[in-house]
Structures are given as C-alpha cells and as structure tokens.
Structure 1
Amino acid sequence: MGKKWRWGVILDAGSSGTRLHIYRWLDPAKALKEASYEEVYSLPNIVTKDKWTKKIRPGISTFGDRPEDVGPEHLQELVERALDVIPDDKHADTPIYLMATAGMRLLPPTQQRAVITETCSYFRANTRFFLPNCDTHIQVIPGETEGLYGWIAANYLLGGFDNPEGHDHGKGHHTYGFLDMGGASAQIAFAPNSTVAEEHGNDLKLLRMRSLNGSPREYKVFTSTWLGFGVNQARGRYVKALVDEFLINGEHEVPDPCLPRGLRTNEKGEIVKGTSKELELVGTGEFDECLRRTKPLLGKNMPCNDKPCLLNGQHVPPIDFDVNHFVGVSEYWHTTHGVFSSKNDDAAYDFNTYQKKVVEFCSQRWEDIESNVEARKKDHGKEAQEACFKASWLISVLHEGIGVPRYGIENTPIPGFNVTKGIGEAAKEKGFLSPFQAADEVNDVEISWTLGKMVLYAAGQIPPKDNYRLPVGFGSNTNGVPPDFQHAGSSYNVTSSIGGDEDDWSDTAEDLIDHAKSKSTSGFFFFLLIFMFIAFLLRKRDRRMRLYGKVNKVLRRRRRPGSPRKGGFGISSITNKLFGRGPYHYERVLEEGDVDQFELGDASSDEGDNSDSSGGRSRVGRSSGLATPKLNVGSFDDLKKHAHPTGTGNALDRSGLVVRTESRERLFPQMLNAGRRSRAASPTRLKSPLMSPVTED
C-alpha cells in the first residue's frame, strides 16, 4: 500500500463564492512502477474526497473596495482546511492556486489587482505552499481558459481521453463537448470534427498533455465565453427590460411572467410582504410569455463579423451534433435537477419532458409551491423563486442559442436511457448518445474545471518520452511552442526519488489514521491498536518516532479542549513501551562545559527560476524555519573535512554523526555511548534539513 503522494490546492473564486479543492496523485516515478498496461498509456490518476472541498460565500469580488480584508475575513477558513488536510512535510512541494472567474472579471482592473495582490501576500504569510509566481498562481482567468479546463475535466472523468475506442461517436470522434454556466458567464468548449477543425484551425487551441509513460497527447479544441450570459446577469437584463416597458409613472408594480402566480419580490429577488412603496415584481406564472421574453436576451440579432455566430454575435465553428455530445455542468445541472426533479427521476434530458415539468410547476400559485418546497427542503425556497426564469433561460440558450436538437420533439432518445445517476458507466456503455446531458459528477467526483487544471499540472510532472520534449500546456494552434503558450506550471525531474520503505509506511499510516478518524470512538481505538502494532514491527527507532508523532497528533485532536489527561495504564504508557520515550522527555546529553561549542546554524534553501515551466523552486515557503545545532570545530582541523555546506556527500557527514562521535572520543571517551538513544528520538533532529538528502515529494 506504499504511496508517495503529490498534492495540489486550487481555489475557484466565482461570482457567488469561493470553493476550495484539494487533489492528490502518485509521484510519476512511483505510479509508473506500479502501473498496469492500460494505466501506462493513461493520464495521471487524480484523487479527491468530499471533505477536501469547502465553499464559503459571498464571492471574492465583494472585497474589491476593501482588499485588505480578503485574507482574514474570506480566505482564512479555506486555508485552515488545506493546512489540516495536507501533511506538513508536503506543504513546500504543494502548489496553491486561486483562479477567479466571472465575478472578478466584472470589477475594474485596479480593484482586481488589489484583491489579487492581497491574496498572494496572505498565502505567502500564512502557508508554506509552493507559490513561486503570483501572476500565474493567483489570477483572474479568461473565460476561454475556464472552459478549456472544464473540457479537460469532463473528458478525463468520462473516459474520452484514455478509452477512445469505447467512446467512438462516429467519424473518429471520441471526446465530449463541455458547457458551463454560472451566475455571470457561460462557457463552451469542444473539439470540432476533422473537417471543421481543418477549416477553422486558427480558431482552435492546441492542448498538450502526457501519458504516464511520457508519450504526448495533443488535442485541438475550440473554447469561448459569453460574459453577462450567466443566469444572474441575464436575470438583471431581463428585469431591466420589464421595468422599462411596464413601469408607469406613479406606480411601483411590474408584472413578471417568469415568477409563479402571487409571488411578489423586489429587484434583488427578495420576497415582499405587506404593503410597500418600493418597486415590486408581481408573478403572473405565464411560462410561454416568459420564454418569449428571454429569447431577445440571447443577442441573436447582433452583427456577426465572422460567421457562423451563436450568442451575442460571437463566432463559433459549426457544431456537428452527430459526434459532438455535450456535458452541461453547474446551472445546467441545478436547473434541470433542482425543484423540477424527484429522487427517482434520473432519465436523460429531453426537451419535451423537461418543458412539461416546467410549465406544470410555474403555473401553480406561489402559496402551493412554497408549502410543497418547504416540506421537501427548506433551503429550496430561494431556488423555487428563481426556477422558472432559470429554466426559461436554459432552454433558450441550449436550443435557440447553441442549437442543441430538441430531444423529445426533433428526435426520440433511447427509451429508459438512464445517464445522470451513473453517468460514468453510461458513457462507457452507450457512448453518451444524447447531444446534451446535464451532469454534476462522475463516480462521485465533481466535474469541475479545477480538476482540469490539476490534470494538466500532474501531466507536466511526467518526464517526456524519448525525444518528445515539447512542454505540457496550451496555446495557439501552431507547431512547436507558440508565443502565447501557457505552461502547465509544473516541471519534471528524471532523477526524482521514488522513496523507500519509510515513505511507504508513513503514507500507509496517514491513510490508516484518516480512515480511523472517520469511525466511531471504539472503532478509532481499534484501528489505532492495529496501527501501533504495525509501527512496532518497524524496528528502526526513527521510523517508530515518526509514526508516534502522527498518533500523538491525532490523539490530541480527539481529546476535547480542557479535558484532563488520564493517568495510569493507557495509550500513553503503551506508546512509551512501543516507541520509547516521546518528544516531551528529551534527555540533555551535552557534556558539562560544552554549551559554548555549539551555535545555531543558518537554514539554507535552494533557489531556482520562478518561471512556470522551470524545474526550480522558489525560496518562498521552502525553509522549515528550524535550525540544527552546529558544532564549532575551530580547533579541530582534522574534522573540517566532514563539513559540507551544500548538504551533499556522505549521509553520515550530512547528519553530523561523524562529527559528534569523534568529538566525544576526543573530549570524554567514557561518554562515547551516552545519549545516543535520546538523540535518535529528537524531534528537532528528525526535522533538520541536514538529516537526509532533500528530495521532491
């Protein structure tokens, strides 16, 4: 079960909130050593867990006029979760990213820069995560980049990359299109068929990744974004059009066909009760009229300078829906699987069935909807208020804007075709036959563009095969490395150490502790006893002490603050017998009068280039903050040969064992064996950078 993990942290700073995502994957050298034949030709296996994600509200863009508060008032909670999940000794090699999307794009450039600068400063001051370059790690990303990352994530999870034969949609096409919609913007990304790709080559992005064996993977993808076409921004434009048309001087009520009958809200969507003189939107529950009024918001009448165009006069190459099968996430999922669906409703999307549900729902009186919704889930109230407009906007964007065929009218899907609940298996078995399908996750992993970024980063850590030295990343569709090429941000190291038994047992212990913490109290101690028995089998004392530290850390977390420590024969006495005396019983073994011969040595750190594609590491976050006692050997000329400032050479020299041993022989021969036990167990020595060669984790 030995696992040497690499970690990555990325924060998705959207318009409504910021969401933390933590991912991990095996070191490429370790993964290749253990890979099956199929895995050798696949992309790195990225792992995440539900508890490794966390979302807070509101969006980071709300700090535009007070950027100094973004750290303590917004990011702190997310940073603490990341620090708690990722092992301390992995922090320096764990990249951290914050990538802001549509909400931040709407801010003035000066406010964007202020928030970004404060965010980077906060990360550097409060973490040791790998952050060599603020401009690449903390940024407002274009919508096209967000769409490309989402396209990577969807195809990675569905299997379009690693199993082309199993996902053949015809004409040699095996990847899936990607649709995303948030509160402020919407994205599209897809790989056109070969004919369109040749005709519209200048419109495409060249994406390059690597399989585990180092062989290149190249794809040509079109990606575009529509800023202002997210549901919240579209709703704002819709309300403004209603007010301009229907508001009469001296009145304050405006009819709204996209609200259920009897529902009254203000312009912000807050329910108005009782009498009020502020502007009120009064629901009439006329969904056909709602659809008619949302269509003009698509901007289909805007001039198209580069045909063909879809929304707002923006060019998009022709979409062949026979082979381009799209996955819709975020609002596409929530709007089709929110208040309109039940727990047992997992059938594939078709226009006819969906619109019937929407019309039935939106024609009800608000009192009836409210009572039914509260019986299901209280926090669905706000969702129910907005459901009719969101459904109308989704239908308009999908079918009137993008041109997705209306399954249920224009075509008939396979009867009973179930795709949403087990979308991974359905994609493998059926090839994802519908031109459009809403999805939220695949095999319990969320389809998030942040995953696409981490897949690209992990692929960049794989050494290239033979002479295929072109970097991992994306840019203009030209040969070689175009000027606008965006590197993955990672680097590979051919001589990277795989790690030995100690790394394997350490990671195994971490997994065991993680599993035990999720169990009941009795189950926790049962797993803990098993863990300590395994630790006892590891005969080397330094390994046992590392494991003891992990157990002790967990025990301190399990004990409630302020609760007394129990004496007698307990866990503490057992661990003392297994591991020896713990770190709180450090024995002083310096000879009398030796204090002046020891001084604190400066901790050194490697410096390297800070470019995205370089193999160097920044000074930021690399130093452990610990200094190792260093013997002042001024009068011992014959001992100078053992000192090595760079940390290379013989392992005994680096760890200082030769110096200490010869020093004792010269000063007090009878003290030769004194104190060796406590020195081996010293927590400071174990953490010293001089103990062993520095390796990439």
Structure 2
Amino acid sequence: KGHKAGPVYDPEGVPYNYIVIIDAGSSGSRVHIYHWPDPKGLDSSSQVDSDSDSDSDSDSDDDDDDKDQKLSKPKRDDGNLTLTNTSNSTTLTSFLPTVSKEKGQKWVKRIKPGISTFNKMPDKVGKGYLKSLLNYAKNVVPKMQQARTPIFLHATGGMRLLEAQEQTEILQASCNYIKDTSSFYLPDCDSHVSIIDGETEGIYGWLGLNYMIGGIDDPTKHNHGKDHSTYGMMEMGGASTQVVFSPNTTMSKTYEDEMYKLTLTGRGSTNGTMAIRDYDVYTTTWLGYGINEAQSAFTKSLIEASKGKATEISDPCMPKGSSREDNETVFKGSGNFTQCIDNVQSIVTKSCDKDKESIGCLLLNSPKPDFDINHFIGVSEFYDSTHDVFEMGGIFDYFHFNDKLKTFCTSDWDDLIAKYTKSTDKADDKDQLTEKLQQACFKGTWVSNLLITGLGLPQITDGDNDPTRHNETLLNYLLPFQSTNNINGSEFSWTLGKAMLYASGETGLALNLTSNKGSFVGFYANKNSSAITYGAEIGSFHRPDFSKKNKTGDKNGADWDDMLDKSSHRLWGALAFLVILGAVVYLLLGKSRR
C-alpha cells in the first residue's frame, strides 16, 4: 500500500507492456517490475532514429506514437542494435525496459529469508512468504494491465542445493498460490516458476549489466579495441558465483563448444528497419562458491581439521579475541592472516581440475579473459565484501586492499568493536555490526583470493590510493576489474536482463520472426543448440493483446473502474449527505404547511 500505480499508456497513447519477476535467491527474494511500450503500437515510419526520452530510473515514459502500422522486416546490419539507457544522451530507441520509478519508488521489494527455507513446509510458502511480494506488484501494475502482465518466479543458488522432491514441492506450491491469488498472466508453471541454472542467471546478468552501462546501446562509445564493446560480469551471491563475458575471436573459436549464442532484436539505424545482433558469450558458474556456502565450507574444514573432537576451535580468519558459536562448537579468533589465506586458497582451488597452484586455475580449461578488451564489473558480494567494512569497493586495488585486510584480520577484537560502534546505539544494530565484523576477514580474503588465484585477475594497484576511487560508482570502464553497487543510479539485478530479453522477444514476435536458428530471440549453448531459451512466450502462450476498449484517454492509467473503486467512499458519503439533507427539508416543509 502507498505505492502509486504505474501508467497504462505512454504519453503518446501506446500501451505499456509490464512484466513482474521474482528473484528467489539464497538469502532472500526480490520482486521487480519493469515496463516498455508495446512494440505492436510503435510507429516504425516516424519514430525510428528520432529523438526520444530515455526510460530512466525515474518513472519517465517513453516517447512513441500510437499507430497500428506494421514494423518492417529486420535486417542484420553489423550489430546495429540500439537500446534505451540513461548513461548518455545519444539518440536511442525506447522499446526495451529499465527499472521504473515514480517519485523515488524503485519498483522493487525484498523479503527474507530465502525461499529454500520452506523445504520442510512448502504449503506455507504462499501466504507466509509470497503474499507481500504479490501485493506489492498488484499495487504497482495498473489493474487493467494485470491480466496481460506475465509473472515469473526464478529461483537461483539456494534452491539448487535442495533435493529434487523439495524443489518440486516449493515450486508447485508457489505456482498454485500465484494463480489462485492474483490475475497476473501465468500460462505455464514449468517456464514461469522454475529454478534457473547458473549459466542462465549469468547471461541474464550480463545482458542487464551491459544494458545499464551502455555497452549494447552505444558500441562506438564503448569500443575497447578488437571490435569489442561489451563488459564482463562477475556476480557472487550467497550460494554461487557466475562469470560471464564475450571472449576475443581466437578464444571463441578455440572453445566454440563451450560458447553460447545470444540473439537480440532491436530497431535499426535506418527509418522503418529493425536490426538483429548476435553475441558469442561464455558463461560459467560454481555452485558452492557464493559467500555463504564458502564460509560454511571453511567452517567445515576447521571442524574436520580438529577431527571433530574439539568443542573449541581456533579460527584464523577471525580477529584475535572474537568468538562465535556454530552447532554447539565455539570458534575463537586467532587473527593468523597467513593461515587464513592458506585455508581459503585450499577451498578456492578445490574445483580446479589440475595445476591448483596456477593463477586462474578455475579457468584453465575454459576461454581465458583478454584483459586488454575484457573489462569486468563485479556485483553483489564482490562489492559488499570489499566495501561494507573496508570501504575498498570500486577499483580493485589488490595491494592496498590486502594491506587493509591484513591490518583488520590481525587487530584486537575489542579495538575493532570500539572503532566501529561509535555511531551505533541500537542493540539490534550492534548485533548486526558484530556479526558483520566477525565475518569481514573471511569474506575479504575469500573475494581477494577467488579473483587472483581462482580467476587470474591482474594484480593492479592505485598508486595514489585515493579513497574517492573506492565507491559504488563506476569511474573508469577500461580497468580489468572494478566492483559496484550502483550503475547509472540503479542497483544491479539480473532480472533486468530477463526483462530486456523478453521485450526483445516480443519485438521479434511483432515482426513474425520464425524460431529457426539465427532468426529467433533468445540464447542456446552451442553444444546443445536445440535447447533454446526464448526471449518471450512461444507457441500459444503469447501475452494477451491490450484491449483498446478500456482506453479512457487518461495517460496516467486511471480507468472508470479504478476511479469508482478509489472514490467509492466519497460517493457513498455524498449520497448519505443528500438523503439526510432531503429528510431535513421534508420535515421543515411539513412544519410550514401546518
């Protein structure tokens, strides 16, 4: 409640297409809402390549004409795909979505814990968990749009760790609840409520990231050399880590079977044309390499080293004097930074097939990044674990970060508590801070060693060690790696990539594209080209058409039903007042007649 519903139409009368996506992660779930003008209503003859408002992070609306003309057949024009983005003011088309706001509202809501915690009580996942997310989406998506607004629930790392039967029960209960309690468009449980693998999550994230930065929008502006304009993504969640990038031509050919083919449809550079752009993308994931699972593996290794007999165990990745309990075992911090690194590296390299001592051993049998053109952006825990305590997000300065990490890990616990609790008065805040400080040494060591030892990141340094270069805003797109929590005013989410691909797919459907390889919108693995992940619905499941008979001319999305519903209490109050007034007049007239 309290969230203003989004618009039904854009300023020119083109109806918006909405989408609702629930990101069911390992530590919590977020619902995201996106919209874009219906491609069936775009005017291909007058709007292509003309100036238009970008669909920014405010609830601004795209500028398209409400015409029923058919769009011209697309052509491949050397990657001339243009998408809306807020990072520049160049002429961009506007049919693809960004996160929309209205008066500061980001159209996103988060709840905790992760959906996987309902593995022993799947029947509670609806009313006890999803209800608040659905209510939020209902308040944002206009009522007259909800029946044609597709909803997706895609679970990630946490759900991947459950037994198959537990997964099925949670997903089925979730789908049933969404169908029973909302009118959102959900034609197929298997495709709309599912667990997506790490590779799929990675491609969605790569798409969203490059859309937000502008690597897809404006290849010329983001030309890194060797005909390369996109950015690599590294994402670390609670359970898994994903790495996605577009390798150079040599690597793509050498590891052709390991690559994914991604196809997008957009509006072309010439009036009345469309463009199709193909990307060769490598995506890989390591389940168990998310920050929470890594810490669990580290704790398990300490218990195994004690042969399970000790009730008090020394933890080298906790500051001296600190302690924590885990399943009746007390872990005492020793602040032994050298031992901490050794223990962490043994977990980082456990998935290396061979040459565990080699830098970048996790990618030994995979396409290697060419750091001259592959510039990576780290999101989620790559930023949080380096910045929350150490304030070293942004440019990854390996040497200064390691110095700061060592100083923290070897510090006395009482000194750290005194330093970091000066501005914290509430007991709850102090408890959260204590937990954060206890975990900071391990988290920082894990991220640093995963980047250098596991993934082969060059050990760069910021000679001036300028603190203003360690923040959540991207400063230099040409660095080998930097972490961020904010891109052009928006927090990163892989759900933007899902929405973007769906919008591109709907554009392809509006052009009557076939599903033949090379002319569909979506992606597939080269080694399994028959398993296509399509951008939008396929078969008979297309989004219902917008019904123009509901149009009232109100560009802010209000229709008569909504108006009556919102004003019903005023109408009843007015009627009651008129009845009372009539009675009074009748009585007064009766007295005068007597």
Q: TM-score range by the shorter chain?
A: 0.7 to 0.9
1:131 lines up with 2:167 in the alignment: no
The alpha-carbon deviation at position 157 of structure 1 amounts to 0.4
1:292 aligns with 2:342: yes
In structure 2, the residue matched to 1:449 is 494
* Contact 1:95–1:130, Cα closer than 8 Å, also in 2: yes
Which residue of structure 2 lines up, in the alignment, with residue 42 of structure 1?
A: 82
Q: For this pair of structures, how many residues does the alignment match? A: 505
- 1:188 has 2:188 as partner: no
Distance change >3 Å, CA 141–CA 310, structure 1 → 2: farther
* Residue identity matched to 1:226: W
Which of residues 482, 487, 501 in structure 2 aligns to 1:437? 482
Q: Cα distance, 1:19 vs. partner? A: 1.2
Residue identity opposite 2:25 in structure 1: G
255, 259, 282: which one aligns with 1:222: 282
| SS, match of residue 319 in structure 2 | coil
Which residue type is aligned with residue 242 of structure 1? L
With the length of structure 2 as denominator, give the TM-score of the two structures: 0.77
Write out per-residue CA displacement over residues 525-574 of structure 1, whole angstroms, 9 at most, x where no aligned residue: xxxxxxxxxxxxxxxxxx7x467437627x88xxxxxxx969999xx9xx
Name which structure has the greater RCO, CA cutoff 8 Å, separation 6+. 2
Gaps of at least 5 residues in structure 2 are: 1-10, 53-79, 84-95, 269-273, 579-594
Once the two structures are superposed, the pairs formed by residues 146-185 of structure 1 within 5 Å of their partners are 146-185=201-240
Matched, 1:24 2:24: no
Aligned 1:610-625 pairs, distance under 5 A:
none
Q: Does 1:390 align with 2:443?
A: yes
Aligned to 2:55: none
In structure 2, C-alpha distance between the alignment counterparts of 1:314 and 1:61, rounded to whole Å:
33
Query: Can you list the C-alpha shifts for 1:186-209, whole angstroms capped at 9, x where unaligned?
Result: 111110001111111111001111
Question: Equivalences for 1:282-361 in 2 at 5 Å?
Answer: 282-299=332-349, 302-304=352-354, 315-341=365-391, 348-361=395-408
Once residues 446 and 187 of structure 1 are traced to their aligned partners in structure 2, the CA distance between those partners, rounded to angstroms, is 18
Equivalent residue letter for 1:507? K
Asked if the contact 1:212/1:462 (under 8 Å) is kept, the reply is: no
CA gap 1:147/1:413 in 2 versus in 1, 3 angstroms: farther
Equivalent residue of 1:226, what SS? strand
Report if aligned partners of 2:241, 2:286 keep a CA contact under 8 Å in 1.
yes
d(CA) in 2 for partners of 1:417, 1:383: 23
Does the CA contact (< 8 Å) of 1:6 and 1:25 recur in 2?
yes
Q: How far off is 1:363 after superposition?
A: 2.4
Spell out, residue by residue over 1:111-136, the C-alpha distance to the aligned partner (whole angstroms, 9 max, x if none): 11111111111111011111111110
Cα distance change of structure 1 residues 219 and 419 upon mapping to structure 2, 3 Å threshold: farther
Go from structure 1 to structure 2 and tell me whether the alpha carbon gap of 1:457 and 1:296 turns closer, same or farther (over 3 Å shift): same
Matched ranges for 1:214-293 at <5 A: 214-246=274-306, 249=309, 251-267=310-326, 278-293=328-343
Structure 1 distance, partners of 2:285, 2:19, is: 26
* One-letter identity of the residue aligned with 1:473: G
Pairing 1:13–2:24 present: yes
Cα distance change of structure 1 residues 239 and 548 upon mapping to structure 2, 3 Å threshold: closer
Deviation, 1:364, is 2.2
Is the 1:64–1:115 Cα contact (8 Å) retained in structure 2?
A: yes
SS in 2 for 1:98: strand
Task: Provide the residue aligned with 1:475 in structure 2.
Answer: 524
Q: 1:186 to 1:472 in 2, by over 3 A?
A: same
Name the SS of the counterpart of 2:496 in structure 1.
helix
Distance 1:496 1:81, change over 3 A: closer
CA-to-aligned-CA distance 1:163-193 (integer Å, 9 cap, x gap): 1111111111111001111111111111000
**Contact 2:235 2:381 (C-alpha < 8 Å) held by counterparts:** yes
Look up the equivalent residue of 1:11 and give its one-letter code.
I
**CA 1:413 to 1:180, structure 2 compared with 1: closer, same or farther past 3 Å?**
farther
Would you say the 8 A contact 2:239–2:289 is kept in 1? Answer: yes
Give the corresponding residue for 1:488: 535
State the AA in 1 paired with 2:253: E
Give the distance between the partners of 1:350 and 1:164, measured in 2 at CA. Answer: 28
CA distance in 1: counterparts of 2:160 and 2:489, whole angstroms? 31
CA contact (8 A) 1:228 1:234 kept: yes
Deviation of residue 325 (structure 1)? 0.6
Change (3 A) 1:567 1:326: same
**1:260–1:503 distance in 2 versus 1, CA, 3 Å:** farther
Indicate whether 1:110 and 2:165 are aligned: yes
SS at match of 2:241: strand
Aligned residue type for 2:451: L
Distance in structure 1 (CA, Å) of the matches to 2:457 and 2:363: 18
The residue that corresponds to 1:406 in the other structure is 459
How many angstroms does 1:373 deviate by? Answer: 2.8
Percent identity over paired residues: 34
Relative to structure 1, the CA distance from residue 419 to residue 463 in structure 2 (aligned partners, 3 Å threshold; closer, same or farther) is: farther
User: TM-score, normalising length from structure 1?
Assistant: 0.66
CA deviations on 1:451-492 (whole Å, 9 max, x unpaired) are 1100000111114798964221111338xx931111123369
Counterparts in 2 of 1:297-696, with a 5 A limit?
A: 297-299=347-349, 302-304=352-354, 315-341=365-391, 348-376=395-423, 378=429, 379-408=432-461, 418=469, 420-423=471-474, 426=475, 430=476, 432-463=477-508, 469=514, 470-477=519-526, 482-490=529-537, 503=551, 505-508=553-556, 545=560, 548-549=563-564, 552=567
- Of residues 360-369 and 25-34 in structure 1, the stretch that sits farther from structure 2 once superposed is 25-34
For 2:552 and 2:450, the matched residues in 1 are separated by 51
Q: Tell me what 1:692 maps to.
A: none
Question: Secondary structure of 2:556's match?
Answer: helix
Instruction: Give, in angstroms, the shift of residue 323 of structure 1.
Output: 0.8
CA pair 367-21 structure 1, distance change in 2 beyond 3 A: same
Task: Check whether the contact 1:176–1:327 (CA below 8 A) recurs between aligned residues.
Answer: yes
Distance of aligned partners of 1:37 and 1:376 in 2 relative to their CA distance in 1, 3 Å threshold: farther
Cα RMSD (Å): 3.4
What code does the residue aligned with 1:456 have?
A: L
Question: For the structure 1 residues 347 and 81, does the alpha-carbon distance in structure 2 shift closer, same or farther, using more than 3 Å as the test?
Answer: closer
Alpha-carbon separation, structure 2, partners of 1:67 and 1:497? 35
- Closer, same or farther: CA 550–359 of 1 in aligned 2, 3 Å: farther
User: Using the alignment, how far apart are the partners of 1:191 and 1:234 within structure 2?
Assistant: 27
Bigger-Rg structure (1/2): 1
| Residues in 2 aligned to 1:119 and 1:26: alpha-carbon distance in whole angstroms | 29
* Distance in 1 (alpha carbons) for counterparts of 2:414 and 2:468: 35
Q: Is the 8 A contact 2:472 2:483 kept in 1?
A: no
Give the corresponding residue for 1:84. Answer: 139
| AA partner of residue 549 (structure 1) | L
Which letter does structure 2 place at the counterpart of 1:315? N
CA distance in 2: counterparts of 1:6 and 1:208, whole angstroms: 21
- Cα distance in 1 for partners of 2:574, 2:510 equals 58
Q: Which residue of 2 aligns with 1:273?
A: none
1:216/1:468 contact within 8 Å kept: no
> What is the DSSP-based 3-state SS (H/G/I as helix, E as strand, rest coil) of the residue aligned with 1:400?
helix
> Of Structure 1 and Structure 2, which has the larger fraction of its residues in helix?
1
Q: Which blocks of at least 5 consecutive residues in structure 1 are unaligned?
A: 269-277, 511-542, 557-563, 573-697
